[in-house]
Every structure is written in C-alpha cells, then in structure tokens.
Amino acid sequence: MDCLFCKIIAGEIPSAKVFENDSVYAFRDIAPQAPVHILVVPKAHITSADAVCAENSAYVAKIFEAIPEIAKNEGLTNGYRVITNCGEDACQTVKHLHFHILGGKQLQGQMG
Ligand code: AMP
Ligand code: ZN
C-alpha cells in the first residue's frame, strides 16, 4: 500500500521513533510546529478519525493509553495539545490516522 506512515511503521522510511508497542508507533514530526511535536499512529492502516468503527477502535484506545506515557517521557508536565486532522476541510495531508502531540511551550488558541 502506498502509505507514508505504513512505510514508516514498517521501517522502509526512517523516522525518529519515541514509542512503540504491538498496536502503536510514535515518532517526531519532520516539520515541528512546537518544541515537542510527535505523531502517534496505529499499526493498522486506518485512513482517518472518520474511519474509526467498532472493529478498529481498540487502536484508538491504545493510542490514548500511550499518549500520557509519551508526554511524560517528553517532560510535558505543564500540558500539551492532541490534534487529529480529518479530511480535506481539516487539511489532513497523510491519509493514515495520526494524532499530533504538541507541547513544550505555551500554545495559542489556533483551533481553526
Ligand atoms: P496532517 O497535516 O495532520 O495530515 O499531518 C501530517 C504530518 O506529517 C505533518 O505535520 C508533516 O510534517 C508530517 N510528516 C510528513 N512526512 C513525514 C515524515 N517522513 N516523518 C515525520 N513526519 C512527517
Ligand atoms: Zn497507512
């Protein structure tokens, strides 16, 4: 499958990994928008939040179990933002579900 994040998970494209388990892979965003900018992805190809359903939602639970652990490892004790862009109107550029963790500075209220 011609999916950038599937290739990253498979190790075919290099990434700066920060976390991995059976269901979840996390790595540093190549174009960071904050001092800490990490992408957390399921190890199954789910195209976006809009494709989450009863059959694959366990991956989302696993991602949200990993997020506090990643945040702790990154020293984000003062808070952080978790974002997923879904579809064209949200400017989703990679069609493999991913959650951005942004932190390490006071973030502004840029919600749209
Ligand atoms: P989105 O716009 O929500 O689809 O986010 C896609 C993100 O993937 C962007 O923040 C990009 O900077 C990031 N990205 C694209 N290619 C790579 C890559 N090879 N390694 C790490 N992050 C990437
Ligand atoms: Zn994929």
pLDDT digits (tens, 9 = 90+) for 43-92: 999 999 999 999 999 999 999 999 999 999 999 999 999 999 999 999 99
The CATH number assigned to the domain holding 83 equals 3.30.428.10
The C-alpha atoms of residue 13 and residue 15 are separated, in whole angstroms, by 7
Q: pTM for this one?
A: 0.97
CA-nearest residue for atom 18, ligand 1, is 30
Taking the CA of residue 13 as reference, the ligand 1 atom at the shortest distance is: 19
Collect all residues with Cβ–Cβ distance below 8 Å to 63 and sequence separation of at least 6. Answer: 23, 24, 40, 41, 42, 99
Which residues sit with Cβ closer than 5 angstroms to ligand 2, an ion? 3, 5-6, 45, 96
Residue 112 pLDDT greater than 80, yes or no: no
Out of 37, 45, 96, 98, the active site residue is 98
Q: Which domain holds residue 69?
A: 4-103
Q: Which of 53, 80, 69 is nearest to 21 (CA)?
A: 69
56 burial class (0-12, 13-18, 19+ CB within 10 angstroms)?
A: middle
- 74: in domain: yes
CA-nearest residue for atom 12, ligand 1, is 31
Each residue's pLDDT tens digit, 19-40: 999 999 999 999 999 999 999 9
- 73: in domain: yes
- 108: in domain: no
- 110: in domain: no
- 100 is a catalytic site residue: no
Domain tally for the chain? 1
Q: How high is the pLDDT of residue 26?
A: 99
- 54: in domain: yes
The C-alpha atoms of residue 66 and residue 56 are separated, in whole angstroms, by 16
